[in-house]
C-alpha cells in the first residue's frame, strides 16, 4: 500500500507535516479538529512516496526542524515558508530509502517485551498507546527515555534509545568515547 507525506498550513502560521495512506482524509480531519476554535487550513500539499513512507516522513521532519524558527510537538512547526515545505515534500517523496530496522526501534521493542505489552509501557511512561507505537518506527523523544529506563528497571537504558544525547552529562558521569 502506497503512503504519502503531506503538509498543512494553518491560518495561525503553523505548519503540520505527516504521513498517511489517505492524505486527503487526514488533512480533512486536521481541518475539522481546529475549525471549532476558528482556525482554518489555508494550503495543503501531499505526494505519494516511491519508497519507505516512514523514512520519508523522518527526513521531512528533520529538514523542517533545521529550517523552522520553533517546533511544537513532533510534527508542528512555526513560520516555515510553505513553498519550501512543498519543495521538500516533492523531493523527499521521490527519494529511494532503504528500509532497515534501527537500533532504537529494537530497544523500544525490547522495552515493550519486558513490561508485557505496548499498553503497559504506555501507562508506565504516561503516553498514549499510539505515541508509544510510533516509537517503534520513530526516534523516542529524549525527554521520555528516562521513563522507559525506569519502566524496564534499567534493562533498556537511555543510551540505548538515544545515543545522540550526552546522558553521561545528565547522570553526572563521564561519557564513554567509542
Report the pLDDT averaged over residues 76-99: 89
Residue 103's pLDDT band (boundaries 50, 70, 90)? very low
**pLDDT value, residue 28:** 94
| Percent of the chain with pLDDT strictly greater than 70 | 92
* Model confidence at 156: pLDDT above 60: yes
Output the nine-digit C-alpha cell for 81. Answer: 515558508
Exposure string (b/e) for 69-103, b if CB count within 10 Å is 16 or more?
Answer: eeeeeebbbeebebeebbebbeebbeeebeeeeee
For residue range 46-80, list pLDDT tens digits in order: 999 988 888 899 999 999 998 887 888 889 999 88
**Homologous superfamily of the 103-167 domain (CATH):** lambda repressor-like DNA-binding domains (1.10.260.40)
Amino acid at each position: 500500500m502506497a503512503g504519502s507525506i503531506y503538509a498543512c498550513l494553518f491560518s495561525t502560521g503553523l505548519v503540520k507535516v505527516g504521513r498517511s495512506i489517505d492524505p486527503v482524509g487526514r488533512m480533512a480531519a486536521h481541518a475539522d479538529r481546529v475549525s471549532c476554535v476558528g482556525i482554518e487550513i489555508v494550503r495543503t500539499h501531499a505526494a505519494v512516496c516511491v519508497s519507505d513512507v516512514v523514512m520519508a516522513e523522518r527526513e521531512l521532519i528533520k529538514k523542517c526542524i533545521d529550517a523552522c524558527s520553533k517546533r511544537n510537538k513532533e510534527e508542528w512547526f512555526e513560520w516555515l515558508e510553505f513553498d519550501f515545505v512543498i519543495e521538500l515534500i516533492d523531493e523527499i517523496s521521490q527519494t529511494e530509502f532503504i528500509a532497515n530496522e534501527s537500533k532504537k526501534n529494537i530497544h523500544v521493542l525490547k522495552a515493550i517485551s519486558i513490561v508485557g505489552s505496548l499498553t503497559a509501557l504506555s501507562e508506565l511512561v504516561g503516553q498514549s498507546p499510539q505515541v508509544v507505537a510510533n516509537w517503534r518506527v520513530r526516534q523516542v523523544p529524549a525527554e521520555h527515555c528516562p521513563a522507559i529506563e525506569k519502566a524496564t528497571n534499567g534493562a533498556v537504558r537511555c543510551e540505548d534509545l538515544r545515543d545522540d544525547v550526552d546522558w553521561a552529562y545528565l547522570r553526572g558521569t563521564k561519557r564513554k568515547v567509542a
